[in-house]
Amino acid sequence: MSETTAGRWVIEHVNDDQGFRTALLAQGDVHTADSVQNLALFNNATFGRVMILDGAIQVTTADEFIYHEMMAHVPLFAHGAAKEVLIIGGGDGGIAREVLRHQGVEAVTLVEIDQAVVDLAREHLPQVSDGAFDSPRLKLVITDGAAFVAQTDKQFDVIIVDSPDPVGAGKVLFEPHFYQACFQALRDDGILVTQSGMPFLTPDWFQRHAVQLNDVFPARAFYLTTVPSYTGGPMAHGFSAKTARHDVSVETLSARSAAIAGDLKYWTPALHRAAFALPRYIETLCGTAPPSR
Ligand code: SAM
């Protein structure tokens, strides 16, 4: 972190090797904690409260609604009848909050490797989980998500992998054996959604990730979201299933979303469908572009 007269600039190191950094000006103190990962937490005039994990922005109170709504509601409204949901990562509780808004969901298992993330988020970012950790429908398991899914005998309707990028503890969540274990843990009509990074910034690992999902899942698509604090262009989300599940009409999505408690701030039925329309460079990276002329 570097100091200025106006305060302390906190540097995000997510793309150092490409000479690309993001700097946010911290207002007041920067809280840090060292556990499984290096955690930092501070206030910023634009993004509100910011959590950084191993140098990469994980969640900000200003724009977390975008990412958490799109990671939770796209698979759940596409599925239409999910009862058992597994969240891997997601220790800030934002995705759990959104999943629990679906009254039909009977059980959410949240598998987070780092208790410190949960503790820090509950204390300093309570609005993100908004009571999700106290829900009788939520079971919190502190362990490695890959190890959990490899040994579970449970079956899930939706698995949401809210992982960091493939570095540090998150690396194992981008390995083929993890996707195979997710395939086994999904019901036949189940859906796996993954945090798939920014294809423009990290085309190599995005392409590898797309191939590895493709090798395991017969039906694989990607959808895009623009999260202001995740710099570097649109963020991709992997949408994988055993049968094609992503092509749901706006009418059906509208009907299904009518049952959710409260208002949504980002997801809409039309946006859900439009998010699956990819620019040609991303189609090329994930192997769905038409043959070149
Ligand atoms: N939205 C963020 C992004 O797009 O990078 C991800 C946020 S979420 C906080 C990432 C979470 O995954 C962190 O809480 C981290 O501790 C957790 N995590 C990392 N590796 C994990 C693993 N192998 N198993 C379970 N949780 C893991």
When the pLDDT of each residue in the chain is averaged and rounded to a whole number, the result is 94
Encode pLDDT of 214-255 as tens digits: 999 999 999 999 999 999 999 999 999 999 888 999 999 999
pLDDT over 80 (residue 16): no
From 37, 68, 161, 163, the mutation candidate for ligand 1 (largest count of ligand atoms within 8 A of CB) is: 163
pLDDT over 80 (residue 1): no
Smallest CA-to-CA distance from 108 within 67, 152, 141 is with 141
Residue 268 Cα to ligand 1 middle (Å): 26
pLDDT band at 2 (very low <50, low <70, confident <90, very high): low
Atom number of ligand 1 nearest to Cα 227: 4
Q: What is the mean pLDDT of residues 71-98?
A: 98
Q: Does the model's pTM come out above 0.75?
A: yes
Residue 64 Cα to ligand 1 middle (Å): 14
Query: Catalytic positions, please?
Result: 162
From 54, 114, 125, 179, the mutation candidate for ligand 1 (largest count of ligand atoms within 8 A of CB) is: 114
pLDDT over 90 (residue 36): no
Residue 89 Cα to ligand 1 middle (Å): 4
Q: What is the mean pLDDT of residues 76-80?
A: 98
Encode pLDDT of 102-154 as tens digits: 999 999 999 999 999 999 999 999 999 999 999 999 999 999 999 999 999 99
pLDDT band at 19 (very low <50, low <70, confident <90, very high): confident
Percent of residues, the chain, with pLDDT higher than 90: 85
d(CA 202, CA 215): 20
How many Cβ atoms from other residues are within 10 Å of residue 184's Cβ? Answer: 12
Question: Where is pLDDT greater, at 157 or 12?
Answer: 157
